[in-house]
Chain A
Amino acid sequence: MSELLTQPFLISLLFGAVTAGVPLLLAGLGEQISEKAGVLNIGIEGMMLFGAYTGFVAAYYSGSFWMGFLAGGLGGMLVASVVVLLCIRQGLNQIVIGIALTIGAEGLTALLHFFQFSKTYPRLDKAPVLEIPGLASIPVIGPALFSHNIVVYLAVGLVVFLGWLFRASYVGLNLEAAGAKPAALDAAGISVVATRSMAVLSTGFLAGLGGAYLANVGAGLFVPFMTHGAGFIGIVLAMLARGRPVWVLLGAILFGVSLAMTTALQVAGVNVPTDVVQMLPFAMVMLVLVIFARHSVLPPALGLPYVRGDR
């Protein structure tokens, strides 16, 4: 065990955990917003994947990571707008549309990628890194936690911001009401449809941004189907976090560590088949769900379309 805990191993593990955890964090926070408002956003996997694709393409052609992140967020929002139009405004089944969007985004991105790049997978340059002055020079911790792309710090900042937003703003109150008792929100003169639409579009943006980070920073390239369930893990994170962003952060770190294990172990010279390691996050999810089964809490009106006058 002691030879495992060398500096390169630890740095690689922690750095990898952050890199792998950030897309999950963004997806989880996004899903949390939707779930709070009473929308079960199964299509988040599709939003993430589409964001990964648009984010990569934008960064590839413009050469700007900023353009990439923006395009990723907008791509996710585009997919989310389908949910808004069909599920929020018309009340279509959120699960059916969610599955359809996930399948559709998988097919479409793979198709588009094929027509652009045939079977090649061009790489982006290494993403710019913001080293936090002072903190970045701490041994192990510095290179592992404080020299990342700026999106990482923004994502952590978002945790704090959402925590405040949910607790102490009209947005928070309205979201809570839209999920817990939509009729009450309606009676108070706020449109449930508008509130939920905003929530879903925000989810789309965050999921798309997460996807773009995954492609542009995490991998440096786009591969079809590359999200591989990250969006769904985001749903689990949101489910277990009981409306508290900080729990999404903790969960994302946990899953990030288990995802980062492969590379870290390879750095340490231990060779484990990737398949075993790929099982880790999902096994972790199931384990967590089994242990905390009775603690997961979802809003009462989750997944139900709001129709004024229905009870």
Chain B
Amino acid sequence: MKMDSLPSPLQSGEMIDTQTMSTAISTGAGGNPAPVAAVRHIGKRFPGVVANDDISLDFNAGEIHVLLGENGAGKSTLIGILAGMQQPDAGDILIDGAKVRLGSPRESLDHGIGTVFQHVLLVPSLTVIENLMLGGSWWQKLARSAALARFRELSDLLGVTLDADALVGKLSLGEQQQVEIMRALWRGEKILILDEPTSMLTPQGVKDLGEVMRRLRSKGVALILITHKLAEAYELGDRISVLRLGRSVGAIAPDERRVMTEQQVTDRVIAMMFGAATPTDAAAAELLVGRAEGRRARREVDRSGAPRLRVTQIATAADRGACPLHDVTFDLWPGEVLGVAGIDGNGQKHLAEALAGQRKITSGTVCLDGADITAAAVPVRRQAGIRYVTDERLGEGTVGAFSVATNLLLKEIGSAPFWRRGMTDWTRIHDHAREKIQDHDIRTPSEKTPIGKLSGGNIQKVLLARELANDAGVVIFNKPTYGLDLQNTRLAHERIVESAGHGLGTIVISTDLDELLEVSDRIGVMYQGRLVGIVENGPEVELAIGKLMTGQVSS
């Protein structure tokens, strides 16, 4: 009875019910008792959207239950409900067969449901152990030694080694995730929910996470894994449930799953996700699977001429914790797509900004068609043909409260024919916007609609319309499909390949390796602000890229 003897790091005398552990231990993997947790007929509406519609699922001890679905399928809402962040409009949540109300994250934690969210929810200015102790009531004494005991216990359980006194802000994303898992299990290891946990990790990090998950499964924890990647679902899932447009559209039970091949699982899931496969959906499905067949037919890039863009040993200065660039050098030829891979936060943002002209280059040079543009500001570079499609569409790409029309000209303010002697010609601006809306199939009530009211896909279309307009020569895409649904993702990929076909030099920065493998001719890898290597895209390059991503420089 390990839990009983634990000198309560669980604070406040709210003891974990010892039942948690005993149930977990008695069941073990493969047993088939009543589910540890279940949702029944869950419904949740947001203004204009039905996020969850009559969803019923079981979660068993010692089982990894994968929830699969594309963006907007309702996965995150369901997780929010289980984590106590949101309340369902209809349906019940059962824990150990009893109905419960999860009115707040605290109640959820008290029921032994721990959640690791997609975005890191740790305080970077606190240490590991402080982050884990977070959540105690104010009248209690800080129970550091008890917390350390629990920390060591969970370290053993997870099989990881972390420094309890390290500042969380200094840890790698993989380590931060381990801290998050510990926190999720802190008050009892009954149910662990992982929301797209691999999106920020290196290939090695993904492998380590898989290890941890299997370990926890063998200890009787019920794991819920949310992902949109089929390969992951196959690799880790005992039970796979597919969500689509807020509904649960099908599941593969563990006994079935055990006897199926990867191909069979894939086909079943795709059938569930798209119903009868139309041609559009087939393409989308390929994307989802990320199979090699999805990669585009490679064209030969003519590298005999002068490069369009020549970047030589550029560096930037550190700024608010973002990783600066050191000694980045590469060439980009017309018609070429250069992918830039790397774990988020290794200098990609600085690279994009330095090339676009919105970040000062402290040393080195950037030449466009032979002309030195190192010191040129954004408008000059834009004039010269350098365009930047940012990943922060509403954060910096657009002004949410301003009209679509204004946002389409955000980088042209003051220039003819829309402005003359500094005076605005609104008629012309609105005419121009209507034209672009038609050409780029932007779905908006009118050109005067504030852009913040449009969907992510349509905002992206506005950005593409703006950046690819007129004489674009080099286009930088930063995470071009982040947050888009499959349809829009496919559209964005087509635009990238198409514009490269027209002779543009294209740089695609992405943390999604599958995406880069699909669109790039060459793939460079960023690691700690350096471009540590560039490889030709082709079969079997993943391994080389994976090594580069963790800083193992290959020759």
Contact = CB atoms under 8 A, between A and B. Distances in A.
Direct A–B contact in complex, judged by CB atoms less than 8 Å apart? yes
A180 B126 CA distance: 9
Interface of B: 11, 80, 83, 85-86, 104-106, 108-110, 115, 117, 119, 121-126, 130-131, 133-138, 140-142, 183
Given A180-B124, A189-B105, A309 B138 contact: no
A170 B106 contact: no
A185 interface: yes
B124 A181 contact: yes
A117 to B, nearest CB: 41
Contacts of B142: 168-170, 173
B85 A309 contact: yes
- A177, A184, A186 — most chain B CB neighbours (10 Å): A184
A169 B139 CA distance: 9
15 contacts: A168-B142, A169-B141, A169-B142, A170-B136, A170-B137, A170-B140, A173-B134, A176-B123, A177-B134, A183-B119, A185-B134, A186-B85, A190-B106, A191-B104, A198-B138
B86 A184 contact: no
A295 B136 CA distance: 31
B176 to A, nearest CB: 11
B117 A176 contact: no
A168 B137 CA distance: 13
A187 B140 contact: no
A174 B130 CA distance: 10
Contact of A190 (B110, B131, B135): B135
B105 A186 contact: yes
Contacts of A169: 138, 141-142
Contacts of A180: 123-126
A170 B133 contact: yes
A136 B115 CA distance: 59
Given A173-B126, A176-B126, A308-B85, A189 B121 contact: no
A163 B109 CA distance: 30
Given A168-B142, A176-B126, A309-B85, A188 B119 contact: no
A119 interface: no
Interface of A: 168-171, 173-174, 176-177, 180-181, 183-191, 198, 308-309, 311
B115 A173 contact: no
A170 B138 contact: yes
B183 A188 contact: yes
A189 B83 CA distance: 10
B121 A173 contact: no
B-side interface mostly:
loop
A177 B130 CA distance: 10
Contact of A188 (B80, B85, B105): B105
Contacts of A173: 126, 130, 133-134, 136, 142
B138 A171 contact: yes
Given A170-B136, A181-B122, A187 B130 contact: no
Contacts of A309: 80, 85-86
A180 B137 CA distance: 18
B115 A184 contact: no
B10 to A, nearest CB: 11
A39 B391 CA distance: 29
A64 to B, nearest CB: 30
A89 to B, nearest CB: 15
A25 B138 CA distance: 24
Given A170-B136, A184-B131, A198-B138, A311 B125 contact: no
Nearest to B134: A188
A156 to B, nearest CB: 23
B115 A177 contact: no
Nearest to B122: A184
By Cβ-Cβ distance, the 7 closest A-B pairs, closest first, are: A189-B106, A188-B135, A170-B136, A188-B134, A184-B121, A171-B138, A181-B123
B52 to A, nearest CB: 14
Given A184-B121, A188-B134, 13 more contacts: A168-B142, A169-B138, A170-B142, A173-B130, A173-B142, A180-B125, A180-B126, A187-B83, A187-B105, A187-B121, A189-B106, A191-B104, A309-B85
B119 A181 contact: no
A198 B138 CA distance: 10
Contacts of A189: 104-106, 108-110, 135
Contacts of B131: 184
A28 B105 CA distance: 33
A1 to B, nearest CB: 46
B121 A183 contact: yes
A190 B110 CA distance: 12
Given A181-B123, A184-B123, A189-B105, A174 B134 contact: yes
Nearest to A177: B123
A191 B106 CA distance: 9
Contacts of B119: 183, 311
A297 to B, nearest CB: 10
A182 B322 CA distance: 21
Contacts of B123: 176-177, 180-181, 184-185
Contacts of A183: 119, 121
B469 to A, nearest CB: 31
A308 B87 CA distance: 12
Nearest to B131: A184
A220 B119 CA distance: 55
Contacts of A171: 138
A170 B126 CA distance: 12
A244 to B, nearest CB: 13
Contacts of A188: 105, 109, 134-135, 183
Contacts of A168: 142
Nearest to B76: A309
B56 to A, nearest CB: 24
A181 B121 contact: yes
Nearest to B117: A187
A184 B135 CA distance: 9
Contacts of B140: 170
Contacts of A311: 119
Nearest to A186: B105
Nearest to B140: A170
Nearest to B83: A187
Contacts of B110: 189
A190 B136 CA distance: 8
A174 B142 CA distance: 12
A309 B117 CA distance: 11
Given A189-B106, A311-B119, A184 B138 contact: no
B75 to A, nearest CB: 15
A176 B85 contact: no
A13 to B, nearest CB: 39
A37 to B, nearest CB: 12
A258 B117 CA distance: 51
B11 to A, nearest CB: 8
Contact of A187 (B115, B133, B137, B141): B115
B519 to A, nearest CB: 28
B134 A190 contact: yes
Residue with the highest number of chain B CB atoms closer than 10 Å, among A169, A183, A186, A187 = A187
A39 B138 CA distance: 19
Nearest to A175: B138
A242 to B, nearest CB: 11
A186 B138 CA distance: 15
A173 B106 CA distance: 17
